[in-house]
Structure 1
Amino acid sequence: MVLALVMIVLLALAFDYINGFHDTANAIATVVSTGVLSARKAILMAAVLNFGGALLGTQVATTIAKGIADSQFVVPAVIVAALLAAIVWNLITWWFGIPSSSSHALVGGLAGAVVAQAGLGALHTTKLKEVATFLVVSPVVGFFIAMAIIILLLWICRRVAGHRVNVAFRKLQLVSAGAMAFTHGTNDAQKAMGIIALALITYGKLEAHGAKVDVPVWVKLACATAMGLGTMSGGWKIIKTMGSKIVKLKPIHGFAAETSAAIVLFTTAHLGIPVSTTHVISGAIMGVGASMNVSAVRWGVAGNILVAWVLTIPISALLAAGFLKLVTPYF
């Protein structure tokens, strides 16, 4: 039992580490592509702020631990299968430089493993529908908030010389990129916390008080550290896709995209709803591009990202169901 629990914790931290370098681009792609910071400095900033954000709140962790499925059906093999599915899908999309959602991969993996283990009745369908709705709606909200912010900023700066606008927003983008990195840590690191808390509940090492889960301090620190270290490893392929392949950005555009994404992520984290940082910032970048000129967005690249979005949950669910058969004899 102890060995199995240790393995689950290590797998969860591995997922968190991979999430760090897989989703690093979410926070820093725009600040790198606009030339405000070098990739190395941006990654260091993101690592520190991801760590700090990971220590703030446990609402998302509670949703992962208690909201997806009935914990009595979540046996250790289910948790292991879900983590393996999410890790494999993250590595595949990272290798090909495709921005995809670690949130989708984890939720899809957990749901797929639970269904394979105990059937559809083991899922909390009401909460899952809420999570699924926000996973779809959040990038759309990011799109329109970013569009509104950039239109407002361009109107405010319409009589200011272009070079002065660039200088001002190069400084402001440091703030927006920092906010994006902080909220990424708040949202994403809590998913690994939730998985570890779920494992601790399964093994009777943690009590859940009603709908609330008190995540131990050591779990928070471990997940925050794994996320920070993963972020420092970088994610160059996805940084390139996010920062320059969707649309060419200037500092004012990067500020608008990061600010809108940070607003969405902070709100959803406060509400305890796990959403995709990848999808939210991608939607925001597309919103900024579409406000300039619809043709400014490389919709072919955007289409490839959209395909990855659609495929992530079903593929992760199928992978988890397959992994469940492999690992059940050992857990």
Structure 2
Amino acid sequence: MSAHDTNKDWPTLDKDLNRMSLLESASLYTARPLVGLGVSLVFIALMALLAGLVAGATPGTMIIVVAAAFGAYMALNIGANDVANNMGPAVGSNALSMAGAIAIAAICESAGALLAGGDVVSTISKGIIDPTSLDHGGLFVQAMLAALLSAALWVNLATWIGAPVSTTHAVVGGVMGAGIAAAGFATVNWPTMGAIAASWVISPVMGGVIAAGMLAFIKWRVMYVPDRIAAARVWVPVLIGLMSGAFATYLALKGLKKVMHIDMPMALLIGLGAAILIGLISVPLVRRQSEGLENRNASLKVLFRLPLVVSAALLSFAHGANDVANAVGPLAAIVDALQTGTEGASEVSIPLWVMVIGAVGISCGLILFGPRLIRMVGSQITKLNPMRAYCVALSAAVTVIIASWLGLPVSSTHIAVGGIFGVGFFREWYMARRARKLNKANGRKPLPVEERQRRKLVRRSHFLTIAAAWVVTVPASALLSAVCFYLISAMLG
């Protein structure tokens, strides 16, 4: 009997088997979030156990264990949310697969935190509240516990709704809210909070303008010239050199704090040397890579792919070195206060085991929950290719350098996402300008308003969601922190 006859004889069985296979697939799909949740709970429990073993039998051991659990929860959320900004453009432009991006980010984030992470951190998040107002009755420890928990809860919520937010701003809001709940509004350093609020606008606008400017330059000098490959051989090494110089300066400023102190002039000198050296090295490499390529824009993507991957890795390393300390700062402050009896010290050392919680937690959060936000940042805001994604990565490094030089508190999250918006809005403007010229030359009427709206290249729904999340991050985490402080105070008596 043939297979065809068998299928005719057993139609009901075939349908049932097909339904069962679909049911099995659906069950596996719905179980994936539960697996992530289970692994996360195991990780938090292990980090709490590690803290208990390190702390030993001291009076504050139980509080350190709870603080370590909160710190591990915060680190998981940083991995799920913050790292998407570094890897999203590379994945969205197809320069990296999702698995490759997660592997590179996990290694580079951990390396940045453990090798170059600052070993001293400001416990009151750069002067947000007056520590002397919290130096009695255990208020400081309770405030830091509330700040850590509230920041983690807010970032968790933002990740769930698909909004990349600044984890540093979440911690800032948490510290402010707990400080107000503990000692009133007078304890807050309002000029510092004003500068942080200004960075909500400065960071994304600066990142967007620089990314759009870089894309305009690439279009002008490389993409829309008669011989694109010849132009690429001239300008791609220059752009690689510029990227190398920017990242060398960025890493010298942000990633070498543990090794030595480097001021801005020295960092710029290091960057200039790296730009010249790597730019010259890349000339023969680009020439060899461009041999045999067709004279069209699609061929140019090949030349930007490797620089984009390297830039994503360097961004992750610098993020690990710079932002992990901010996230585990409240945990380090709690450990220092309980072990030394000095509450509200201006600066404290970060123990190695605290940095391990931060580094490993970020990697776990990225692996378990990062792909969703990486896809959103990389492909759902606007369409990216390697050239556009390269402009975003370069703008992130350049903007941080300019902000450091001007002394402005900026968010790497806001800069990276602002760069993506900048590239998207520039493309919208460029395409609209090109359409107007063509219509004028051919005597055609402009498209109707509805059609022009349909052809927008930046998704307005994501733009509004992300902008709203940025604006409410500090007040929302502050409000959450105040509630957490009252609950923690009531439990600790």
TM-score (norm 2): 0.62
Distance 1:70 1:58, change over 3 A: farther
Q: 2:166 aligns with which of 95, 98, 101?
A: 101
Q: 1:65 & 1:263 partners in 2: Cα distance? A: 24
- The whole-number CA distance in structure 2 between the counterparts of 1:235 and 1:229 is 9
In the TM superposition, residue 3 of structure 1 has moved relative to its aligned partner by 1.0
Using a 3 Å threshold, how does the CA distance of structure 1 residues 274 and 84 change in structure 2: closer, same or farther?
A: farther
Query: Counterpart of 1:304 in structure 2: which amino acid?
Result: T
Match of 1:61, SS state, is: strand
Q: How many angstroms apart in 2 are the aligned matches of 1:268 and 1:84?
A: 29
After TM superposition, give the deviation of residue 136 of structure 1 in Å.
Answer: 3.5
- Within the candidate set 153, 160, 170, 1:88 is matched to 153
- Which residue of structure 2 lines up, in the alignment, with residue 249 of structure 1? 384
**Cα offset for 1:80?**
1.7
Question: How far is the alpha carbon of 1:211 from its aligned partner?
Answer: 5.4
Query: Paired residues, what number?
Result: 331
Distance apart, 1:119 and its partner CA: 0.8
Gaps of 5+ in 1: none
Does 1:170 find its partner at 2:331? no
Q: Which has the higher contact order (CA 8 A, sep 6+)?
A: 1
* Counterpart residue number, 1:124: 189
Q: Which residue of 1 aligns with 2:121?
A: 61
User: Which amino acid letter does the alignment assign opposite residue 42 of structure 1?
Assistant: A
Q: Is the 8 A contact 1:77 1:328 kept in 2?
A: yes
Between 1:102-111 and 1:40-49, the stretch displaced more is 102-111
Describe the superposition over 1:276-307 as per-residue Cα deviations: whole angstroms up to 9, x where unpaired.
33222110001111222243222332112111
**Does the Cα contact within 8 Å between 2:104 and 2:313 map onto a contact in 1?**
yes
- Equivalents in 2 of 1:330, 1:58: separation in Å? 33
- The one of 86, 89, 100 aligned to 1:41: 100
Tell whether 2:314 aligns with 1:314.
Answer: no
Q: Work out the CA distance in 1 between the residues paired with 2:401 and 2:143.
A: 30
Question: In 2, Cα distance between the equivalents of 1:155 and 1:59?
Answer: 45
Contact residue 67 and residue 334 of structure 2 kept, 8 A: yes
Corresponding letter in the other structure for 1:31: A
Matched, 1:30 2:165: no
CA offsets per residue over residues 209-260 of structure 1, 9 Å max, x none?
A: 9855433333333322222232222423222221122111111000110121
Please name the residue that 2:460 is paired with.
299
The one-letter amino acid of 1:162's match is: N
CA contact (8 A) 2:207 2:418 kept: yes
Q: Which amino acid aligns with 1:61?
A: V
CA contact (8 A) 1:64 1:191 kept: no
Partner of 1:146: 211
Q: Does structure 1 residue 13 correspond to structure 2 residue 108?
A: no
Letter in 1 for 2:144: I
Between 1:111-120 and 1:261-270, the stretch displaced more is 261-270
- Is the contact between residue 59 and residue 273 of structure 1 (CA under 8 Å) also seen in structure 2? no
Tell me which moved more, 43-52 or 202-211: 202-211
In structure 2, the CA distance between the partners of 1:65 and 1:92, relative to structure 1 (3 Å rule), is closer
Contact 1:61 1:190 survives alignment (8 Å): yes
Give the 3-state SS of the residue equivalent to 1:37 in structure 2: coil
Task: Return 240-249 or 263-272, whichever deviates more.
Answer: 263-272
Unaligned runs of 5+ in 2: 1-59, 229-295, 430-455
Q: Is the counterpart of residue 289 in structure 1 residue 348 in structure 2?
A: no
Paired AA for residue 188 in structure 2: L
How far apart, in 2, do the equivalents of 1:12 and 1:31 lie?
29
Distance 1:61 1:288, change over 3 A: farther
Residue 128 (structure 1) shift = 3.0
Contact 2:118 2:322 in 1 (8 A): no
Q: Give the 3 Å change call, closer, same or farther, for CA 195–123 of structure 1 in structure 2.
A: same
Cα distance in 1 for residues equivalent to 2:96 and 2:389: 12
Q: TM-score normalised to the size of structure 1?
A: 0.89
Give yes or no for the alignment of 1:79 onto 2:214: no
**Letter of the aligned partner of 1:324 in structure 2?**
F
Question: RMSD between aligned alpha carbons?
Answer: 2.7
Distance 2:406 2:111 in 1: 19
How far apart, in 1, do the equivalents of 2:197 and 2:123 lie? 13
Other-structure match for 2:9: none
* Greater Rg by CA: 2
- CA distance in 1 between partners of 2:405 and 2:364 (Å): 24
1:235 partner SS: helix
